[in-house]
Amino acid sequence: MQDGSGAAVQPLVPHHGLHLPAPAQRAPGHPAGPDTPSLWQWDTLQYATSAGYTSSTMEFSLQIFLGLGRRAEDLSAEQHRLAVKVKPSFLQYLSYLLNFMSVIAGPCNNFKDYIAFIEGRHTHMKLLEVNWKQRGFQSLPEPSPTGAVIRKLYMTLVSLLLFLTLTKTFPVTCLVDDWFVHKANFLTRLCYLYIVMQASKPKYYFAWTLADAVNNAAGFGFSGVDKNGNFCWDLLSNLNIWKIETATSFKMYLENWNIQTATWLKRVCYERVPWYPTVLTFVLSALWHGVYPGYYFTFLTGTLVTVAARTMRNNYRHYFLSSKALKVAYDVVTWAVTQLAVSYTVAPFVMLAVEPTISLYKSMYFYLHIISLLIILFLPVKPHAHIQRQPQTLNSINKKKKD
């Protein structure tokens, strides 16, 4: 292709809302466009494996530190459960880090649980937490993962079909189209953004559910028995789709999305930093995900929204608990607000770059940023939100008992 002067003009291909040079001119290692899927797949594979190695290594290091570098009385009950008190062998470390079940898509898991699985103690340990004689059993049952694996494989199939239809129908590139940015009204943009973000979820549902099923098929992931006496295989589950889609708060949504990574972030950062745990945890999450600017837009916006949502909930929720009708109305409104807020917050995560993110947020008038800042600035916040936090250790528990 040539311009009026006869000079060659590079063809442009869309990529996550950006116009990028054609594949032949791209820098090595840059995610490719739709015409070069192999390069994109390799980039995604590199990200998934390196991120998994990072979280697993940090989790392993933390558990070793808790077991060998801290006194038992200085640990909380959860830290005491995680602590590895005997130095593992190099072979055990490599097995934990590189096992075939989670080497590609994770999830990050507890080193002690993994070793118990390798040594054949995994399900036995969980079953011992239940009094089976009271339930009419003379010996320990042998839970089978078959049912859980079939259900999860069915969910991966549904997710794959949605990806091949819904995701292709509503690609994220729609959010930088001229119609969306300049012609659609605000309400239409709000609804269309929600639809596009919903359409981007099936690939995550597919990958995480398949990874969970693979671990369960190998016999790893048994978490015990629920209140109805059913065997649960959700120890390594990375999401709860029903709770995600029906979440009535930003906190509830985050607690059920990428669960194992959220648990890891809580252990290595949120529970250990003395000040501003929410902000620092979001910053660490952005750094862990990579260097694309979109990640930082998402997690910094997420910090504002989390603090604002918590402030609103603490100030107004109790007014809606006096009757069932008010509670239902509150749940409906907070569900809609949560889903729209999540769509607005995570859009940069899938758009990746600065230009489409700014274009999107300008077309939305930065409404959620402004509302969140106003809430934080003008509504009262609980006094303990910004003071140094004191973790509850076994020492503090024993002291309370004595008092």
Residues 6+ apart with CB under 8 A from 107: 208, 211, 212, 236, 238, 259, 260, 261
Active site residue 289: yes
Hey, which bits of 197-241 come out as E strands? 224-225, 231-232
Cβ contact 140:164 at 8 Å: no
Cβ contact 260:113 at 8 Å: no
335-to-155, 172, 249, 310, 325 alpha-carbon distances in Å: 24, 23, 7, 15, 15
Residues 6+ apart with CB under 8 A from 239: 204, 205, 208, 209, 256, 257, 258, 259
Catalytic residue from among 289, 314, 315, 395: 289
Cβ contact 117:95 at 8 Å: no
Cis peptide before 107 (omega within 30 of 0): yes
Maximum distance among all alpha carbons in the chain? 88
Catalytic residue from among 109, 216, 238, 258: 258
Q: Length of the chain, please?
A: 403
The radius of gyration computed from the CA coordinates of the chain, to the nearest angstrom, equals: 24
CA distance 220 to 151: 16
CA distance 277 to 269: 7
210-to-171, 200, 215, 245, 398 alpha-carbon distances in Å: 23, 17, 9, 19, 43
Active site residue 398: no
CA distance 394 to 400: 10
CA distance 354 to 360: 10
Which DSSP letter does residue 233 get?
-
CA distance 286 to 292: 9
CA distance 297 to 289: 12
Q: Work out the burial of residue 243: count CB atoms within 10 Å of its CB; fewer than 13 is exposed, 13-18 middle, 19 or more buried.
A: middle
Question: Which residues form the catalytic set?
Answer: 258, 289
